[in-house]
């Protein structure tokens, strides 16, 4: 069961472990990691490929990304992905939330398409981050143009 299915099903007590990112860098990487593993496959290699969009940000200069990734992967073992996602979204600073939403949306729109479950999760992320609908719509519209005619991922 992937993130999208887990995200929209009723939570159980067994999945009530709380996740608190150590810092904003961890919160941002956790969001991208959870989205990249929404098919239920947790691959450190796959997630490390996500770092390109974060490592170029001045605010994350000097972050020990390998250690950060280890904490995130370990947390996914006993934490509900929806709980992790919500916690990570709220741990992103207000000023960086639009950028982080754009990075998440770009990951979701990489194949130039968005299905109903992806749309639902992006709406949820925007709500958790407290972003206005008008702003998120602009971000998604630009990303659709950016990713137009991309090859479909298999």
Give pLDDT tens digits for 107-118: 888 766 777 888
Give pLDDT tens digits for 53-95: 899 999 999 999 999 999 999 999 899 999 999 999 999 999 9
Which domain does 100 fall in, by range? 20-146
Spatial distance between the Cα atoms of 74 and 58, rounded to a whole number of angstroms: 26
Q: How confident is the model at residue 130 (pLDDT cuts 50, 70, 90)?
A: very high
Q: How confident is the model at residue 128 (pLDDT cuts 50, 70, 90)?
A: very high
- Is there a domain that residue 11 lies in? no
Instruction: Kindly list the distances between the CA atom of residue 38 and the CA atoms of 42, 76, 117, 145, in Å, as whole numbers in the listed order.
Output: 9, 12, 10, 24
Question: Which tokens is 81 given?
Answer: 């992905």
- Is there a domain that residue 15 lies in? no
- Is there a domain that residue 2 lies in? no
Give how many domains the chain has, as a whole number. 1
Question: Which tokens is 58 given?
Answer: 């001045």
* CATH number of the domain encompassing residue 119: 1.10.3680
């Amino acid at each position: 069961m992937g993130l999208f299915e887990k995200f929209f099903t009723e939570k159980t007590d067994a999945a009530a472990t709380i996740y608190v990112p150590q810092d904003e860098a961890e919160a941002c990487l956790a969001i991208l990691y959870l989205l990249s593993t929404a098919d239920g496959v947790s691959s450190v290699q796959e997630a490390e490929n996500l770092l390109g969009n974060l490592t170029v940000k001045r605010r994350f200069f000097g972050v020990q990304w390998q250690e950060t990734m280890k904490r995130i992967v370990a947390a996914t073992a006993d934490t509900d992905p929806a709980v992790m996602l919500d916690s990570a979204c709220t741990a992103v600073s207000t000023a960086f939330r639009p950028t982080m939403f754009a990075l998440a949306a770009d990951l979701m729109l990489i194949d130039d398409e968005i299905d109903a479950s992806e749309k639902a999760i992006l709406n949820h992320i925007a709500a958790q981050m407290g972003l206005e609908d008008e702003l998120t719509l602009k971000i998604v519209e630009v990303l659709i143009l950016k990713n137009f005619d991309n090859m479909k991922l298999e």
